[in-house]
Structure 1
Amino acid sequence: MTQQDAAPGHFTPGRESLAAYLDDHLIGAETGVRLFTAAQRTWEGSPYEETFARLVEEISDERDELESLIHALGYARSKAKAAAAAVGAAAGKLGPLNPLSTGGGATGQLELESLQSLVRMKESLWRTLLVLSGTDHRFNAARLQELIEMARGQQEAVAEVMEKTAVERFLATD
């Protein structure tokens, strides 16, 4: 029996691996939405507020698209991973450290670099699915290419904020 012939709910090891991979990326996407939303609050009132507002909208839409894809493929979310993600989200809201609260100094730089890394990971997801689209026609190659380009643009947008604010962050005088 091929993976294509597997009964619904019964996945061969390759399918289980893909389901777990997509589920992990969905957790990452949910984290990304939270972190970009926090960044939007951090940069509120700055010339970069609109940039982060746009990024939050795009990344939220992509998270929703990934979740829809997971359901369309017949995969179910891991209850354990979903619960762990919910606990992590709650802890992040209650904890004394807001990972994107200052925007300044070395911490601000690392926060922006972390946002770029999250978007780079997402780009890697879309690239992986694009490769799979060559043999699994459930993946829309044209849409995946669009998502790759969007991720590149998002990385550039964060890099632009990082570069334009670096002097102020590191070389500002009192």
Structure 2
Amino acid sequence: MKKLQLSLLLMVFLVMAGCSQSETTNTEVNKLKETNKTLIEDYNKLVDKKEKLEMELDTYKEVDENSKHLTTIIDDFIHAAQKGDTATMQANISKEFTFEKQEEWLTAVNGEKNFPFYSDFYKTKLKSWYLQGIDYDKEKDFVRVFARVGYSDGEDSWYFEIIKEDGYFKISDLQYET
């Protein structure tokens, strides 16, 4: 009888040990499933971030590759503005702009913004200009170009915003300080 009791006790002990181990295993499996789920979410976030960074890098490469072209646009525009050459200015500026004569000044007009450039009586001559910098604004998707323009009687700072319009780089906004 003692053998039977001892056998039954051993069997109960083994069953209890198996059940307790099964609960531990289930808890560990659930923890591993949660960890796996978190890792998959983190991985997907990193993949998305990588894709965004690659797109941004491509844009910076495009700006770098086109910096010479952007500089040419600015050069053409500055020289045309000095001469009052509306055809060249219009070729390098967004179609949002029009050119009008306002109080003897040739003026680029874009909505409420007016930019007077040229007048027959304005005798200051362009001496030189140099590029101060090119910056890409990723949030607004345009290139900002800073130039210093020297005249026979002083200097101006010009700020251009350039976008791609119909596949071509065009000046979309500009400012200057005298």
Q: Could you say which TM-score interval applies, normalised by the shorter chain?
A: under 0.3
- TM-score normalised by L of structure 2: 0.27
Larger radius of gyration: 2
More helix by share: 1
Quick one: higher RCO (CA 8 Å, sep 6+), 1 or 2?
A: 1
